[in-house]
């Protein structure tokens, strides 16, 4: 089979297209013929060494993907052969991710994909959707699970709604009944956030964004899903309600975080930092179940008309796909494994 591998951390040029033997699923595992592999910032950060040195002599990258189960290991129901699935955390703690024609994962990391959902949707779930779910379910006064109506009466601020996680935050929050506000940096990203389902979009580079958000939510925002904590914390604190939550899954731009501790205490602010690798099995199981329900309800479509443009590369150009993600390509970068 064809696979992308790297043996050393570094820039995208360390990625190589090679031939490898077909993997065999072990006990509790399934083998998936990959149709589409999804790339997230965490994938290039792992490859570059930004999040630590690689754990294995050879790594096939990418956490997310979608395809069809073609073999199962001992202890897995054989009726799963032929099942369409989406994968999450495929390369977490393992040397083989989804940048290959076939990969092997624990059976629970291969979630059934309904027939009405294409592989592009499946490959775009994983990190973005599960992160978004976590961000929306940690508020002290909010639900721990998402379903239609779970966020009725809540106001959610999705920072960077044109990004993959921001897009999923908008879609899941809207599906669950929240009023959704998204901050964006210009007209094109405003169009995308609106297409994703945001009720209101605010350009944080113009005017008085805090006043605009307060006009929409006079009592303040219940949950902020934050991608750039250092850059946006002052705005977040200016619009957060008492006992509100800031769920942060990134610090894009790397600006140091300067916290007004007294204001945070007076508001009884909850800060929740989110990363899937250490979130725990219970939270992951809940998130996959709720995301599955949202997919089946048609709540997580992708494509430019739904606010998430798809940027595609063939497997042989995976290095270029990584460069696109690193350079901030708008939308979801996908690698096609089938022609």
Q: Running DSSP on this structure, what letter comes out for residue 12?
A: G
Structure tokens at 22: 């077909």
Contact between 159 and 226 under an 8 Å Cβ cutoff? The reply is yes
168 backbone dihedrals φ, ψ, rounded to 5°: -65, -35
Domains of the chain, first to last: 2-124+308-336 (3.90.180.10), 129-277 (3.90.180.10)
Contact between 159 and 232 under an 8 Å Cβ cutoff? The reply is yes
d(CA 229, CA 235): 10
d(CA 158, CA 170): 6
With 70 as the cut, is the pLDDT of residue 339 above it? no
> What are the residues facing 270 on neighbouring strands?
245
* Predicted TM-score of the model (pTM): 0.96
Secondary structure tally for the chain: helices H, strands E: 10, 15
Q: Per this entry, what is the length of the chain? A: 339
Note the pLDDT tens digit of each residue in 265-313.
999 999 999 999 999 999 999 999 999 999 999 999 999 999 999 999 9
Structure tokens at 245: 């939550």
Q: Running DSSP on this structure, what letter comes out for residue 50?
A: T
Contact between 173 and 221 under an 8 Å Cβ cutoff? The reply is no
d(CA 131, CA 225): 10
Note the pLDDT tens digit of each residue in 87-117.
999 999 999 999 999 999 999 999 999 999 9
Note the pLDDT tens digit of each residue in 132-190.
999 999 999 989 999 999 999 999 999 988 899 999 999 999 999 999 999 999 999 99
Question: What is the pairing mode between strands 200-203 and 221-226?
Answer: unpaired
**Residue 225: what pLDDT?**
98
């Amino acid at each position: 089979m064809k696979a992308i591998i790297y043996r050393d951390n570094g820039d995208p040029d360390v990625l190589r297209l090679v031939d490898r033997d077909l993997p065999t699923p072990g006990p509790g595992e399934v083998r998936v013929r990959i149709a589409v592999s999804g790339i997230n910032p965490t994938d290039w950060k792992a490859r570059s060494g930004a999040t630590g040195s690689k754990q294995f002599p050879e790594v096939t990258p990418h956490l997310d993907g979608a395809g069809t189960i073609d073999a199962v290991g001992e202890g897995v129901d054989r009726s799963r052969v032929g099942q369409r699935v989406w994968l999450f955390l495929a390369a977490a703690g393992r040397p083989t991710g989804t940048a290959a024609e076939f990969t092997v994962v624990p059976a629970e990391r291969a979630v059934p994909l309904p027939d009405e959902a294409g592989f592009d949707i499946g490959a775009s779930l994983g990190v973005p959707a599960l992160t978004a779910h976590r961000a929306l379910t940690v508020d002290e006064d909010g639900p721990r699970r998402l379903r239609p109506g779970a966020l009725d009466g809540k106001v959610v601020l999705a920072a960077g709604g044109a990004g993959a996680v921001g897009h999923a935050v908008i879609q899941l929050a809207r599906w669950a009944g929240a009023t959704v506000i998204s901050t964006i940096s210009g007209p094109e990203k405003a169009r995308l956030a609106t297409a994703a389902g945001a009720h209101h979009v605010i350009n944080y580079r113009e005017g008085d964004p805090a006043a605009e958000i307060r006009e929409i939510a006079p009592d303040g925002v219940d949950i902020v899903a934050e991608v750039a904590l250092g850059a946006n914390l002052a705005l977040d604190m200016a619009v957060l309600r008492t006992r509100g939550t800031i769920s942060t899954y990134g610090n894009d731009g790397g600006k140091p975080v300067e916290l007004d501790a007294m204001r945070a205490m007076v508001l009884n602010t909850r800060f929740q930092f989110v990363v899937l690798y250490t979130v725990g099995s219970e939270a992951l199981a809940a998130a996959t179940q709720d995301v599955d329900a949202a997919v089946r309800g048609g709540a997580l479509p992708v494509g430019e008309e739904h606010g998430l443009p798809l940027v595609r590369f063939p497997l042989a150009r995976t290095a270029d796909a990584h460069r696109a993600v690193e350079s901030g390509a708008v939308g979801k970068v996908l690698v096609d494994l089938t022609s």
